[in-house]
Chain A
Amino acid sequence: MMDNLVKDGSLRQVALRAGLYAVLIIFALYYLMPLFVMIVTSLKSLDDIRTGSLIGLPRELVFDAWGKAWSGACTGVKCEGLQPYFWNSVLIAVPAVMISTVLGAMNGYVISQWRFKGSDFIFALLLFGCFIPFQVILLPMAIVLGKMKIAGSIGGLIFVHVVYGLGFTTLFFRNYYITIPVELVKAAKVDGAGFFRIFWSIFMPLSAPIVVVTVIWQFTQIWNDFLFGVSFSQAGTQPITVALNNIVNSTTGVKEYNVDMAAAIIAALPTLFVYVVAGKYFIRGLTAGSVKG
């Protein structure tokens, strides 16, 4: 079945290759099917949905569902579509990604290049923090956000995402900077350069790839977050994932599957876009986030 190593053009080989491609294409169709269903459903009229088939093409293209998902669908009482929540997610994700990336870079720089007694221990503490199930911090965080007077606010959500993103951003930068020889820092110190000077003129210029990986990882995590969003937001500050879930589960009126699907695609577009234009870095982040060390 898997003879990449034997190079002979016999009929059996050709048949095997054909079978191999067939299997790979069937799997490709399996992964693409839900996306296809979402797109065609979002372009159908409700009548078409009720009388047609799940995987059938629309009888005529109708774009109404998209407009409604963006600016008219109901999330509970309000009917203003996903639009305000889309911008909420942007307002949460952009500062949270920037802050956690900068902090991760500084932490990783210290832990890999300016080690002191206990720095490895702090790294272990940070690393373990990546793995906790967030349910275990949900209750005290709700209380503390209340005490800090940022409960239910965008600022509160930014704060939460920064704190619980630190483990991964630090890990990414630490694993990247550790490959840079310490002699470089030593030589720079002899020349009189200080902590920030060395970071700025030696490490920063080398950091572009890992910054991209970290930013993509953090953006995907924060944009797709639901647990923090649903626990720590209130009407008006909800991120897009929470709004999408509310639209889909809204019980008022007729069930509009086409609007649900258009809304789901809108919620998915930013991360899909990032994946399509920077897939290489996305995968690197995924594997770096899972294969530690």
Chain B
Amino acid sequence: MEWLQKHMPKMVLAPSFMAILLFVYGFIAWTAYISFTRSRLLPKYEIEGIIQYERLAQSPRWDVAMTNLAIFGILFIVISMVLGLLLAILLDQKIRTEGALRTIYLYPMALSFIVTGTAWKWILNPGLGIELVIQGMGWESFEFNWLTDPNMAIYTVVIAGVWQASGFVMALFLAGLRSVDQEIIRAAMVEGVSTPRIYRSIIIPSMAPIFMSAFIVLSHLAIKSFDLVIALTGGGPGYATDLPATYMYTMAFSRGDLGQAASSATVMMMVVMAIIVPYLYSELRSRHDG
């Protein structure tokens, strides 16, 4: 009984610990291992070196997926941050209807990316969608067919992604703006410093951690983006809007090419690690020091 009491905390934590060890770390190791084999439809366990990574490097489709990730990732993160910060600053001006506006700006975050993709697919529909609305306003020659244009389709993913996530960035920044020391701001006001300057030189610099969080969340969303592409473009036209996540899924479940699926998943993991590990490391360290 005494022994049981003493070890109870460990026993409570044990199942979760085991689960995480196996289903997260064990699985990552398995996938990384398979990425060095010639596995096709079924896993093979003989190590064959970096052949799968060479195949990735030579695959035009993977090239498109990585280029798309760069285009989508950068635009999605930058636009969402700029829009989010702008909305947060505007909402911070003692707006009477702030609560209602905040609710409106943030609701897309409650939706599934599949719902968002379905809605935007209809809005951007060449022929019946926004194109027709603008034509109806008198601009007869207006054309908007990004959804079916292989060179532009990836930007429709940006449009829908920003719509979904920018309100959330706004909420993060608004919380950040509110947590800035009011005394300093009041002192600056007494000194006659202009409001834009107060934002530029005092408030925004002190929000560095919030920028970091927003960046982490958005980059994470960008790398994981799968549902949105599936619902909006299905990866098409052709494979013009493939992202690493859709490439991996296609290799795993439609092509039966486990080696390619595993190696592309491993690359995704590396990209995430390159962003997350320094962040988590500094977070956990600062907690120990504080």
What residues of chain A have their CB less than 8 Å away from a CB belonging to chain B? 1-6, 20-21, 23-24, 27-28, 30-35, 37-38, 41, 49-50, 53-55, 103, 106-107, 109-111, 114, 116, 119, 122, 124-129, 131-141, 143-144, 163-164, 166-167, 170, 194-196, 220, 223-227, 230-231, 241, 244-245, 248-249, 257, 260-261, 263-265, 267-268, 271-272, 274-276, 279, 282-283, 286-287, 290-293
Ordered nearest first, which 6 A-B pairs have the shortest CB separation?
Answer: A224-B112, A114-B9, A275-B110, A226-B227, A135-B265, A137-B27
* Residues 116-147 of B contacting A (Cβ, < 8 Å): 116, 118-123, 128-130, 132-133, 136
Asked whether, in the complex, the Cβ of A136 is within 8 Å of the Cβ of B266, the reply is: yes
Asked whether, in the complex, the Cβ of A272 is within 8 Å of the Cβ of B265, the reply is: no
B94 proximity list for chain A (CB < 8 A) = 4
Asked whether, in the complex, the Cβ of A220 is within 8 Å of the Cβ of B110, the reply is: yes
Given A23-B90, A287-B175 in contact, is the A139-B262 Cβ separation under 8 Å? Answer: yes
Asked whether, in the complex, the Cβ of B265 is within 8 Å of the Cβ of A136, the reply is: yes
Chain B, residues 30-48, CB within 8 Å of chain A (1/0): the string is: 1100100000000100000
Complex CA–CA separation, A283 to B287 (angstroms): 24
Given A24-B95, A139-B34, A287-B172 in contact, is the A261-B216 Cβ separation under 8 Å? Answer: no
Asked whether, in the complex, the Cβ of A286 is within 8 Å of the Cβ of B168, the reply is: yes
Interface of B is mostly: helix
Asked whether, in the complex, the Cβ of A53 is within 8 Å of the Cβ of B132, the reply is: yes
A247 to chain B: closest residue by CB:
B118
Partner of B92, one of A4, A27, A34, A260: A4
Report the stretch among B56-64, B70-78, B150-158, B246-254 that lies at the interface: B246-254
Asked whether, in the complex, the Cβ of B118 is within 8 Å of the Cβ of A53, the reply is: no
Asked whether, in the complex, the Cβ of B175 is within 8 Å of the Cβ of A264, the reply is: no
Further 10 A-B residue pairs, CB within 8 A, beyond A139-B262, A227-B227, A290-B213:
A23-B90, A31-B163, A135-B248, A135-B264, A138-B261, A141-B23, A166-B19, A167-B20, A194-B5, A276-B103
